[in-house]
Amino acid sequence: MQTSLETIISDFELLDEWEDRYRYIIDLGRDLETLPPEALVEANKVQGCVSQVWLQTQVGSGDDPVIEFKGTSDAHIVRGLIAILLALYSGKRASEILSTDAEALFVKLGLREHLTPQR
């Protein structure tokens, strides 16, 4: 089961040390649903990342469809970051996704200054 964005933000606020936050991010990644081997194809691979990252997308119907995302990575912290992004975007309408600022969330969580740009 995917952790809610509200839970992630709340849990981050409880963790004072970055070592604990990194462990929490890794734990979030461990809870991600495993992608089937047939999803780990070049068409689903995210370009420009040092780690290998795959993102699978399912788009609903209508003018403002709900979009579901699934993702994974071969790197533990990146997999946890994917979990945070899925909590932010997956299951939302396209219009809501377009108006959501992931960078603002990463700043709020303090991730921007604690992660390398490749992540």
Q: Among all residues, which ones are annotated catalytic?
A: 49
Torsion angle defined by CA atoms of residues 103, 107, 67 and 86, in that order, rounded to the nearest 10 degrees: 130
- Tell me the two tokens of residue 95: 């219009």
One-letter-per-residue 3-state SS of 36-53 = CHHHCCHHHECCCCCCCE
User: Between β-strands 66-73 and 92-93, what pairing exists: parallel, antiparallel or unpaired?
Assistant: antiparallel
Give dist(CA 72, CA 55) in Å, integer: 7
Asked if 69 and 55 count as a contact pair (C-beta separation under 8 A), the reply is yes
